[in-house]
Amino acid sequence: MALGDERRAIGRANEQSRRNIGSQIEAERRAIGRQIEAERRGEAVVEDINSLVRPPRQSRPLKRLDPVGSIPAQRSSAPYKPRAATTAGIASPLIEGASGAGATLAREYHAGITLTSSDGLISLDVEPLKKITMHDANGEPVVMEFAQP
């Protein structure tokens, strides 16, 4: 084989190799383009999310039950019991503590606190009221409870 023929063969081999590389690069670019379009559309994201979500349970129909006959009409009676004469609520006047000899005030207090004026010149020790027990006109106890200030 002559030197010129050898050079031509090497040139054809190089050309074929370059064409193969070019077509391979073109195929890769087209694949990248398709991948970018799919990402833009969110196809892969939707598939990924759907693979994580459990499919909804299929509802099964309930079993059919045979209808049962209705209850026949009846007549009945019940004795009437009127309400007691007492009324609901508190009967006034309210009287604090127990009445009679040796009666004491029924009060409870929260822990003492010190109130100070905004300029700090005046302070006052106070025991806030927690609970007062009183009696209404019927003699029933009435309890008033207060929140801690």
How does pLDDT run along the chain (149 residues), one tens digit per residue? 688 889 999 999 999 999 899 899 999 999 999 888 888 887 777 777 877 887 777 888 888 887 777 877 888 888 888 776 666 778 888 888 665 555 566 888 999 999 999 998 999 999 999 998 888 888 788 888 999 87
| Residue at 144: amino acid letter | M
Return the closest-CA partner of residue 51 out of 41, 40, 39, 43.
43
Q: Would you state the pLDDT for residue 59?
A: 85
Q: Which residues pair with 96 in a beta bridge?
A: 134
Could you tell me where the beta strands, DSSP code E, fall in the chain?
95-96, 107-109, 113-116, 123-126, 129-135, 141-145
Note whether 127 and 110 are within 8 A (CB): yes
